């Protein structure tokens, strides 16, 4: 089983921890060969093992090229995205609601995130055995618990009933071919992990990009908001918990919206202000690879040799915005024209609305080596989570209006007031669709709400039966993605999701 073969290797800690057997030759062990038993002996080993947990977050983002991009899986599932990349068949399978368990996108998510979980389990198990400063040990364990929670939170939303593994796995382990846990069990671990991380003494912010208290509380808000909705349907109690955690982030005064949308794709704005938590990349060391994927097909506008037309906005989605919304103005969230690479005085019409919020200007125009991070949690998301959750447990409050109107005012839209509870809910959800599009957020909202945004009526339809503007109709099976074929084939304890 592919994922569990990763467990057999225990996922390589920070590139330094490899699992090689002791040599039988002369009955001696080579001290340069790290094993689990001889590696976790120093404080720096604890740090490097936690660093390794972050690595798997990058995998779905890094896999961007002419064959497609893993990160687009949940974007094409919204019906809001288009593509011109004909050979990226996995994109079309999702986009046209013809997905199968052979889709490489889902396989890559499963493998990468369980690898991250394996590394987290190893750190959580071994760091307490290292003689080191207790405060630092607690913080490192807080990071590990947060990251394990983040991986499981994504996996349970994407795949539903998934294996729950919380200990390092060896060749002798019964967990080599695990059974599936129900979502309730997965969410319990997620909440427990985040509660541990919250009490770990982490700073509110971390400019280096490591897990911070702001990230922990923000993810807790998102988890509680999801638990309030489908599939668990825990309702008002969990909306209240979500509102409380989001409010704690707001009241901390540690975060703020950027004054300009340009800052969303400015490499100097990494891990500060609105960027609460990001996946880290670095030019010349580990640059982001999605730049060629988000630009139009062979329009000769970029320093990158690969211009794939891999993903761009559905025109019907663009038309659903208020015409006055700054976000659809040129080079805000999207762009429709750019200069020719050979002659920057020559403007090229791109033929569509391409994604500017992930566009690295310096890389595209000169270096072909991006320094952008990938956003995971933005303060805008926290504000809108607070507005939504607080409204569900009461009526629209002044603070809820302030949270909703903050992103609207930045978009140069008028502030809202005097709405009913139902009207306020609709406006918050519309704002989530418009503000957080193409950031791997919208499909997760659709699944927890079981709603899709009708681009013609600008209202929300039931998820099952929701019709994409270009024709396909969502069925109940699209509430989850299929468990990868390779996992089902190699582990007979796994049962495929309904409809695949």
- Residues 366-403 pLDDT 10s: 999 999 999 999 999 999 999 999 999 999 999 999 99
Q: Break the chain into its structural domains and give their ranges.
A: 1-21+30-202+464-495, 281-372
Mean pLDDT calculated for residue range 17-26? 32
Per-residue pLDDT, 23: 32
- 2 and 485 in contact (C-beta within 8 Å)? no
The pLDDT of residue 4: 40
Is the pLDDT higher at 23 or at 145? 145
pLDDT reading at 6 higher than 70 = no
Q: What CATH class does 1-21+30-202+464-495 carry?
A: mainly alpha
Query: Sorting pLDDT into bands at 50, 70 and 90, what band is 479?
Result: very high
Q: What is the pLDDT of residue 29?
A: 40
Band of pLDDT at residue 170, cut at 50, 70 and 90? confident
Q: Is 18's pLDDT higher than 60?
A: no
pLDDT number for residue 33: 54
- Predicted local distance difference test score (pLDDT) of residue 1: 40
pLDDT of residue 328: 98
Residue 445 · residue 439 · CB < 8 Å: no
pLDDT at 20 over 70: no
Provide the pLDDT confidence category of residue 34 given band limits of 50, 70 and 90: low
pLDDT band at 89 (very low <50, low <70, confident <90, very high): very high
Which carries the bigger pLDDT value, residue 26 or residue 347? 347
Predicted local distance difference test score (pLDDT) of residue 176: 80
* Model confidence at 27: pLDDT above 80: no
Q: What is the pLDDT of residues 282-320, one digit of tens each?
A: 999 999 999 999 999 999 999 999 999 999 999 999 999
| Band of pLDDT at residue 174, cut at 50, 70 and 90 | confident
* pTM to 2 decimal places: 0.93
pLDDT, the chain, mean = 93
Give pLDDT, residue 16: 33
Q: Report percent pLDDT > 70 for the chain.
A: 93
């Amino acid at each position: 089983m592919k994922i569990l073969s990763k467990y057999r290797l225990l996922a390589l800690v920070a590139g330094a921890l490899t699992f090689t057997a002791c040599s039988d030759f002369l009955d001696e062990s080579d001290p340069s060969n790290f094993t689990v038993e001889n590696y976790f002996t120093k404080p720096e080993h604890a740090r490097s093992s936690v660093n390794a947990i972050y690595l798997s977050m990058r995998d779905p983002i890094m896999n961007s090229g002419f064959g497609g991009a893993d990160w687009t899986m949940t974007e094409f599932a919204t019906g809001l995205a288009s593509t011109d990349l004909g050979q990226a068949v996995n994109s079309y399978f999702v986009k046209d609601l013809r997905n199968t368990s052979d889709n490489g996108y889902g396989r890559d998510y499963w493998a990468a995130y369980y690898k991250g979980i394996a590394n987290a389990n190893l750190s959580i198990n071994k760091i307490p055995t290292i003689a080191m400063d207790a405060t630092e040990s607690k913080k490192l364990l807080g990071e590990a618990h947060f990251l394990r929670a983040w991986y499981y939170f994504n996996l349970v939303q994407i795949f539903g009933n998934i294996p729950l593994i919380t200990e390092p796995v060896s060749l002798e382990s019964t967990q080599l071919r695990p059974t599936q846990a129900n979502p309730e069990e997965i969410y319990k671990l997620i909440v427990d992990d985040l509660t541990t991380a919250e009490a770990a003494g982490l700073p509110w912010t971390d400019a280096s990009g490591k897990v911070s208290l702001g990230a922990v509380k923000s993810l807790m808000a998102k988890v509680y908001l999801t638990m309030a909705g489908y599939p668990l349907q825990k309702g008002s109690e969990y909306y209240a918990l979500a509102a409380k955690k989001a409010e704690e982030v707001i009241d901390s005064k540690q975060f703020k919206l950027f004054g300009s949308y340009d800052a969303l794709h400015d490499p100097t704005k990494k891990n500060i202000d609105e960027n609460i938590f990001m996946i880290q990349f670095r030019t010349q060391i580990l640059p982001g690879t999605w730049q060629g994927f988000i630009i139009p097909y062979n329009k000769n506008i970029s320093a990158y040799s690969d211009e794939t037309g891999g993903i761009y906005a559905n025109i019907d989605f663009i038309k659903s915005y208020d015409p006055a919304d700054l976000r659809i103005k040129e080079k805000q969230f999207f762009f429709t024209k750019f200069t020719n690479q050979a002659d920057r005085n020559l403007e090229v019409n791109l033929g569509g609305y391409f994604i500017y919020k992930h566009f690295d200007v310096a890389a595209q125009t000169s270096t072909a080596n991006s320094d952008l991070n990938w956003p995971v949690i933005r303060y805008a998301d926290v504000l809108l989570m607070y507005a939504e959750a607080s409204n569900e447990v009461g009526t629209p409050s002044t603070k809820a209006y302030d949270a909703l109107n903050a992103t609207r005012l930045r978009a140069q839209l008028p502030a809202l007031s005097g709405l009913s509870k139902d009207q306020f809910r609709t406006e918050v959800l519309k704002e989530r669709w418009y503000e957080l599009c193409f950031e791997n957020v919208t499909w997760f909202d659709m699944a927890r709400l079981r709603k899709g945004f009708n681009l013609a009526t600008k209202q929300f339809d039931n998820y099952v039966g929701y019709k994409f503007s270009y024709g396909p109709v969502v069925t109940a099976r699209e509430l989850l993605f299929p468990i990868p074929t390779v996992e089902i084939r190699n582990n007979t304890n796994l049962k495929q999701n309904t409809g695949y």
